[in-house]
A and B are shown apart, each in its own frame.
Chain A
Amino acid sequence: MAYKKRLDGRKFDELRPMEAKVGVIKNAAGSAYFKIGKTTAYAAVYGPKDLYPRFLKNPKKGILRCNYNMMPFSGSGDRVRPGPSRRSREISLVTTNALLPVVDLDGVPNSVVDVFIELPQTDAGSRCAGICAASMALADAGIIMKDLVGAISVGIVDGQVLIDLDYPEEAYAEGDVADVPIAYIPSTDEFSLLQMDGKISQKDLIKGLELAKKGANQIIEIQRKALRQKFEVQK
């Protein structure tokens, strides 16, 4: 275990500083802004609304459609070419699946709820930040939800299990790195997003997931607070 101290001085179970705000995009039915470390994400919800083309309509319930996109100037290196990439399309898919278990669209058949996620600045953990913003935005839009969703990454850097990897840790060259982004639903104690890059033992994975639960619960508290704060009346 060579990674004894984190590059930014955090404890192994410490998340980067976070900020959350709800109702930031007036045109949307619901919206939110979520920042973790240097990664920032906006999410806007439009709908439930009528869905075109017709063949996509589901007569039993509404569909959820998430779209993840990095702004061209949000990457830490080269400019990101605008438009959907294979990576962003995959992230859109897993984001939708991360949120689907908690939303109840039975009452709006044949309709669609569109969630747009845009990131102006990224420093690892972008898909998780997007999911956190989307979770708040959906609640803000009045969508019926069993629970909020907390998403965070855990992983291993040179043998050390830790939470919320930043970009320098993801790119750590002096040892093996495993990156495990997850999304967690507290009320049912279930994971709705689970991906992994790198090598990890089963034991460390379970250790990481327990750590992730704690982190996700912390994030959910921040989401709750942001949603309530919207209704604090400014004098």
Chain B
Amino acid sequence: MNNEKQDHVLFYLKNGLRYDGRKKEEYREIEVETGISKSAEGSARVKFGDTQVLAGVKFEIGKPYPDKQEEGTMMIMAELLPLSSSKFESGPPGIQAIELARVVDRGIRESGAIDYKKLCIKPGELVWTIIVDILPINDAGNLFDTAALAAMLAIKNAKFPKLNGDKIDYKTHTKEKIPLIEEPVSITVLKIGEHFIVDPVPDEEEVLDARLTVALTNDSVICAMQKGGEHPLSMDDIKTMIEIATKKSKELRKHLG
């Protein structure tokens, strides 16, 4: 359907250029800021060019899962606010929001980033739950990577609230941070025709053939993946995309601080 548009994007890519003049593997200007919401126990704002995403962490307490009696839990949620784009409608999260949240969740969860045992208050009875909420303020492409970075930064920024017995005193923050073992970074690579790019803008997302989001640990071990788009990927495609993701993850990692 969008053949003409894809042809024109390919015309640029053949010349090694993107619609905004960037190179194929070049990210837009990235800005990060933490502690942007003092109501949250941890928060961050991340900008990739004009794309802007907020993430906030809230702590709750409750019973542990029956099969993990000595471990706390984590939940990652995302809401694609109509504030951020005319593409999004009011209402409960649609499939795009759900995929975004679950992909970011897997990247952080499967990396083993959080030591859930340290979130245990009373084994079998009381554990901490970390809830991360991701909300875009302006969607100008590449929500996956922006959201993943914002979520990770919010988790790093978070401080436990004070616990009085079995009640949380949200007004008092302790100095204790969430114990982290890993700090995963997520890179999404797009395939358009025979070309591979990172950090797409909406025009490019509209004409993608396929995308691969790869989450990598500090040691460049792949801990989560998600393929999207209607076209299949060959073995060579996958190898190339993982190489690009690994290379770019070193760059992106600098923003984790």
Contacts and interface: CB of A to CB of B under 8 A. Distances in A.
**A and B touching (C-beta < 8 Å)?**
yes
Interface of A: 24-28, 38, 40, 42, 44, 46, 49, 67, 69, 71-79, 82-83, 114, 116-118, 120-123
A83 B133 CA distance: 13
Contact of B38 (A42, A71, A121): A121
Nearest to B91: A83
Looking at B54, B57, B92, the one whose CB has the most chain A CB atoms below 10 A away is B54
A120 B170 contact: no
Question: Chain A: interface secondary structure?
Answer: loop
Contact of A27 (B79, B92, B135, B138): B138
5 contacts: A72-B58, A73-B37, A79-B60, A114-B82, A122-B39
A82 B140 CA distance: 23
Interface string B63-84: 0000000000000010101111
Interface of B: 36-41, 43, 50, 52, 54, 56-58, 60, 77, 79, 81-86, 90, 92-93, 131, 133, 135, 137-140, 170-171
B170 to A, nearest CB: 5
A71 B83 contact: no
A118 B39 CA distance: 14
A78 B170 contact: yes
Contacts of A83: 92
A159 B139 CA distance: 48
A76 B39 contact: yes
A27 B43 CA distance: 23
A121 B37 contact: yes
A209 to B, nearest CB: 30
A46 B40 contact: no
A123 B37 CA distance: 11
Contacts of B90: 67
A44 B85 CA distance: 9
A169 B39 CA distance: 17
Contacts of A79: 58, 60, 131, 133
Given A74-B40, A121-B39, A42 B83 contact: yes
Nearest to A65: B90
Nearest to B170: A77
B138 A82 contact: no
B83 A76 contact: no
B150 to A, nearest CB: 12
Contacts of A122: 39
B56 A27 contact: no
Contact of B135 (A71, A75, A78, A114): A71
A40 B40 CA distance: 13
Contacts of B40: 73-74, 121
A26 B79 contact: no
Contacts of A44: 83-84
A102 B27 CA distance: 43
A46 B77 CA distance: 25
A70 to B, nearest CB: 9
The 6 closest A-B pairs by CB, nearest first: A73-B56, A73-B40, A79-B58, A116-B83, A72-B133, A121-B37
Nearest to B40: A73
B39 A73 contact: yes
B35 to A, nearest CB: 10
Contact of A116 (B54, B77, B82): B82
Contact of A72 (B38, B77, B93): B77
A44 to B, nearest CB: 4
A110 to B, nearest CB: 18
